[in-house]
Amino acid sequence: MTERTSLSEIEKTPEYKKLRRKQKLFVATYIQSGIDTGTYDATGSVLASYACADWETARRMSYGLLKNVKIAEVLNLHFSLTPRERFIASLNRAIRNKKLTMAQFRALQQKAESLGFTQGR
């Protein structure tokens, strides 16, 4: 298992500082649940961070939060993902996106090229 960056270290990063107050609380709760129990509880973290009508609302909301680019950046730091692993994660999100635009596709393509992940044409 890859070494995880601690919550106290995450809280010092510029990526974490860019988050809104409730996003910070969600991320902190999510990371701490993983550290404490070995299981990352997104739904429980939403319930602790946001006023949700019920568990189902929190569950659905957790998907959006985990897909949020700023939150994903912070979680990538916690999970100590390499640039290649981070790119693959963003590529996988794009593949699942039913509304992927051509501009988004081109941006991913350019990022892959700039990171040296593609072979010359």
- The answer to whether residues 24 and 73 belong to one domain is yes
Mean pLDDT for 50-77 is 92
In this structure, the answer to whether residues 6 and 59 fall within a common structural domain is yes
120 has pLDDT over 80: no
When mean pLDDT is compared across 4-8, 24-28, 67-71, 107-111, the lowest value belongs to 107-111
Reported as type and span, the H/E element at residue 54 is none
Q: 14 lies in which domain range?
A: 1-80
CA distances from 82 to 15, 46, 57, 76, 78 (A): 16, 27, 33, 8, 11
Q: Kindly state the average pLDDT of the residues 57-79.
A: 92
Q: Are 35 and 7 in contact (CB under 8 A)?
A: yes
Tens of pLDDT along 13-54?
A: 999 999 999 999 999 999 999 999 989 999 999 999 999 999
88 and 75 in a single domain? The answer is no
Statement to judge: residues 62 and 86 lie in one domain: no
Instruction: Answer yes or no: do 22 and 54 share one domain.
Output: yes
Residue-level pLDDT at 108 = 82
Indicate whether 97 pLDDT > 80. Answer: no
74 & 89 share domain: no
pTM (two decimals): 0.74
Is 109 found in the same domain as 59?
no
Number of compact structural domains in the chain: 2
Q: What tokens were used for 119?
A: 């072979």
* Among 2, 19, 1, CA closest to 10: 19
Q: Which two tokens stand for residue 97?
A: 């996106």
